[in-house]
Structure 1
Amino acid sequence: MASGQVEFDEGQLGAALSHYERALALREALLGPESLAVAEVLTSMSNVHIMRDEAEKAREHLGRALAVREKLLGPEHPLVALTRRGLGFTWFIEHKAQQAEQEMRRALEIDERALGPKHLRLASDLDALATVLRQQGRAREAIPLYDRALSISESSVGADAPVVGSTLINRAGAFAECGEYARAIEDYQRTLALHEKTLGPEHPDLAMPLSGMGEAQLLLNQPARARASLERALRLEEKSESRCLYGEIGYHLGEALWRLGERRRARELILQLRQTATRKEPYQEEHESAEALDAWLAAHPL
């Protein structure tokens, strides 16, 4: 189990799964198939499958873990809530929001009864439920949940805790989806300041709040500010191993440059993105697809 966790933390998912599968076989042989130790391994295995976008396999393991935990601990135990939240996430990544919301709400209800209304675990439950609501286009309903999550986190672990930054950036996204771009920028700025303090000014994780802030500044017709945010975001994202935000940042930077009259540089940047663009993938922003980039280039001739 420990070796699997190390491999998982280092992104070696195949090796992690091999360790977990061996641990599962050993624990089943020693303790039987219905033990809490077996449920623990199943949960760890589900995390690997989630990282691989294998939601159905993850849900299979979590369903088995849930049955064991409900039988041995009862349906109102916090470990049951944690398992239900994991199940909700498997539905979320498949864009099955109704099932996801059902599991997330059940997890929140269990934790609130078991742990009390101000326990730190509730902040994660509230954040997860709010994000599911946003997937359904219900950002306005999500904002009060983020507000409550922030209040719990800040009172429990302080305003500089990583969990605070995570909820802030999620609330910023909800504000942006509601058209409240100035409020979104405030949350992105708070997140940026927190990350700079805890991670340093050159950490790749700063690219996310900078990217969101740049997009919101564009929507407020502030291209000069957007360019500054997005250029810094792009430079930091280049240091990231995944570079998963690179296309999104580049697209918005191209638009900012165009509006500022730097048209040749804007087209060069969009052309560079187009060289590696493919058809739209499940987690790809719409404007990053080959079709969207072609449309941008056609609409912005020199």
Structure 2
Amino acid sequence: MGDYSKALEFYEKDLEITKKALPPNHPDLAISYNNIGHVYNDMGDYSKALEFYEKAHKIKEKALPPNHPELAMSYNNIGQVCRNMGDYSKALEFYEKAHKIKEKALPPNHPELAISYNNIGHVYNDMGDYSKALEFYEKAHKIKEKALPPNHPQLAMSYGNIGQVCRNMGDYSRALELSEKAHKIHEKALPPNHPQLAISYNNIGLVYSDMGDYSKALEFYEKAHQIKEIALPPNHPELAMSYNNIGQVCRNMDDYSKALEFSEKAHKIHEKALPPDHPQLAMSYNNIGLVYSDMGDYSKALEFYEKAHKMKEKALPPNHPDLAISYGNIGQVYNNMGNYPK
């Protein structure tokens, strides 16, 4: 478990001393800013993380030649935090900048290139461009297979990523196979409460949920949630995702009061932790809407569906599958209310 407050305390002491001892654009200051940015990112405080990553980046831009690998790392960090904040076009821009530098500076099968491909794949997956995501995840995986031993956690991450994009494309048997491969590696390589294990459990749960095996999904979601509760601060967005998943599976099992309770817990965290137009907030509204719809409270369902839809329109590309889901939900609720188009 990361003791974030302790880490922050010591990094801030380090920054204080470094600021006094060194000129304002010294590269060591960039390291200090970066370290603080990492902690805020891990805590789920993305706006604070971005602030420190950008401070680090400004120093590096002045101090280093334009194709220096340290600049690539900087672009990467900013890209990651933009992705976490739901700004996918910005994230893609920074990840591609990082990748261009790495392509020039490194040999073609270097593990750092795999990280780049992976990051770009994540954004395409978030944007709903699953074939593009798969292309980049597979590029990353080929490099990792050559460079790493067969039980390396990075390979597990790779199997997990490809598994999730297969799931998004509706290939559930392949998704389950790859998610379980990832999990076996994680179990051997990592301590029992490691956050990566939570991701593994979660991914397997998602596939079972999509396959309609809700009791199995719930079992894996709860395993993931137990680890996250130990490893993360109480308002971390990852915990919200956990509540969301459990809420949705409770809904599918017709336990609506439990579903509403978990969906609202998720929403409260998202409201505190994320910018107001973040796609995860839209997902929260959507999930609450689904529960109200199942409970027959259609006007309440419509209210939440419309909130979700407004956010999705701002945050997502016009052909994103989530927008289609949104239109479908609103159409269904009008149908249930007997409000047919003339």
User: Do they fold alike, i.e. is TM over 0.5?
Assistant: yes
2:336 to 283, 299, 302: 299
What does residue 213 of structure 1 align with? Answer: 246
Deviates more, 1:91-100 or 1:159-168: 91-100
Structure 1 residues without counterparts, runs of 5 or longer? 259-265
Q: So what's the TM-score if we normalise by structure 2? A: 0.70
Determine if contact 2:130/2:169 at 8 Å carries over to the other structure. Answer: yes
Aligned: 1:252 with 2:290: yes
What is the identity percentage for the equivalent residue pairs of Structure 1 and Structure 2?
Answer: 19
Q: Is the 8 A contact 2:263 2:288 kept in 1?
A: no
Deviation at 1:299, TM superposition (A): 1.0
* Counterparts in 2 of 1:254 and 1:287: CA distance versus 1, 3 Å: farther
Distance across 2 between alignment mates of 1:50 and 1:202: 19
1:45 aligns with 78
The structural deviation recorded for 1:114 is 1.4
- Measure, in 2, the Cα distance between the counterparts of 1:46 and 1:86: 9
2:289–2:302: 8 Å Cα contact kept in structure 1?
Answer: no
Aligned pairs for 1:95-174 within 5 A: 95-174=128-207
Checking the alignment, whether the CA contact within 8 Å between 2:309 and 2:323 is kept in structure 1 is no
Change (3 A) 1:121 1:268: same
Gaps of 5+ in 2: 1-29, 275-279
Q: How large is the Cα RMSD of the aligned pairs?
A: 3.4
Task: Report the counterpart of residue 75 of structure 1 in structure 2.
Answer: 108
Tell me: CA distance 1:193–1:84, structure 2 relative to 1, closer, same or farther (3 Å): same
What CA distance in whole angstroms lies between the structure 2 residues aligned with 1:98 and 1:267? 36
Secondary structure, counterpart of 2:46 in structure 1: coil
SS at structure 2 position matched to 1:238 = helix
Equivalents in 2 of 1:203, 1:90: separation in Å? 21
Equivalent of 2:301 in 267, 270, 281: 270
Task: Between 233-242 and 292-301, report the one with greater CA deviation.
Answer: 292-301
Task: After TM superposition, give the deviation of residue 207 of structure 1 in Å.
Answer: 4.2
Q: Judge conservation of contact 2:285–2:305 (CA < 8 Å) in 1.
A: no
2:268 to 238, 242, 245: 238
Per the alignment, residue 257 of structure 2 pairs with: 227
1:207–1:234 contact (8 Å) kept in structure 2? no
* Paired residues, number: 288
Q: Which amino acid aligns with 2:288?
A: G
What is the CA distance between 1:97 and its match in structure 2?
2.4
* Whole-angstrom distance in 2 between the partners of 1:212 and 1:141: 21
The TM-score, its normalising length taken from structure 1, stands at 0.78
SS at match of 1:246: helix
- The structure 2 residue matched to 1:11, chosen from 30, 37, 46, is 46
226 and 151 in structure 1: CA distance in 2 versus 1, 3 angstrom threshold: farther
CA distance in 1, matches of 2:295, 2:240: 18
| Structure 2 Cα separation of the partners of residues 239 and 57 of structure 1 | 24
Q: Aligned AA for 1:69? A: K
Q: 2:46 touches 2:81 (CA, 8 Å); kept in 1? A: no
